[in-house]
Each structure stands twice: as structure tokens, then as C-alpha cells.
Amino acid sequence: MFDPEELNSKINQSFKNQEKVEAEAQGLEKKLLENYEFKKSMIPQRKWGQPFDPSKLTMTAKFIIEKHQPAVASYLGFNSGYHSRQEEIAKAREEASASMAKKIATLQQQNEEQKKLREYRLRNNLNVGTGFPNF
């Protein structure tokens, strides 16, 4: 038997679900527009109540989103790890720089010690290279 209240309940629930989807899609669009490089024209067209479809974004739009909003790119499913790689590269550069500075300091200390040894040998009339007395 047909129950009009059940039909009304289903209709209302469907409308509420579409409103939720629309609110999420609009929120996502606003989030994308927070990025100064992202233009409103880059947002793909959609019907009211339909979810935001990231597959319709252009490559340029995806690049801009990933560059400036990596969390949003990850949420949309196209984060390539660009920021993680950039952080790894920066960390590797810092480590290499620190290692090089340490090596430079060690070599400078060794050079200073060798210089003092040569000066000592020269003052004491010893062979600068071997340290044996000059005849």
C-alpha cells in the first residue's frame, strides 16, 4: 500500500543529501579561490547538488592547487608528493652543507697544525719536510 508520508520522508532526505553535497562543493570551490593564482574560470562547471569533480580540472589548475594547497590536492586525489620531494631536497642540501662545513673545519685545523710544525722545524734548523737536523 502506498504511504505518502514515507514518500515525503524520502524526498526530504534526498533534498537534504543534495544540500550537503552542494555545501561541500561550494566550500571546496571557495577554498580553491583562496589561492591568489587560481581563477574562478578554472572551476569546472557542475549542476546544483552535484559533487565537485576534480577530474575535470585542467593540468594548470591541478599544478596551481598542488603548488599552493598540497592538503587540498591530496583531498582531491592528485597530490604527486611535490612538497615532500622539495623538503627532502632542502634537507639533503642542509646536511651536505653541514658535512662540508665540518670537513672544512677539520682541514683548517690540520693545516694550522702542519703550519705550526713547519715553523717549529724552521726555527730549530730542522728539515721542514722530514724533521731531521740539517747538516
Do 42 and 31 lie in a common domain? Answer: yes
Q: Are residues 21 and 68 in the same domain?
A: yes
How high is the pLDDT of residue 1?
66
Q: How crowded is the C-beta side of 35, counted as CA atoms within 13 Å?
A: 23
Residue 125 sits in the same domain as residue 91: yes
128 and 109, same structural domain?
yes
Range of the domain at 67: 4-80
The SS3 call for residue 133 is strand
The rounded distance, in Å, linking the Cα atoms of 105 and 124 is 29
Cα–Cα distance, 59 to 56 (Å, whole number): 9
Residues 68-115 pLDDT 10s:
888 888 888 887 777 778 888 999 999 999 999 999 999 999 999 999
Same domain membership, residue 98 and residue 45: no
Indicate whether 20 and 75 sit together in one domain: yes
Half-sphere exposure of 130 (CA within 13 A, CB side): 4
Q: How many whole angstroms separate alpha carbon 119 and alpha carbon 109?
A: 15
Is the same domain home to 93 and 50? no
Q: Specify the number of domains making up the chain.
A: 2
48 and 86 in a single domain? The answer is: no
| pLDDT of the residue at 16 | 92
Domain match, 52 and 85 both: no
pLDDT digits (tens, 9 = 90+) for 28-74: 888 888 888 888 888 888 888 888 888 888 888 888 888 888 888 88
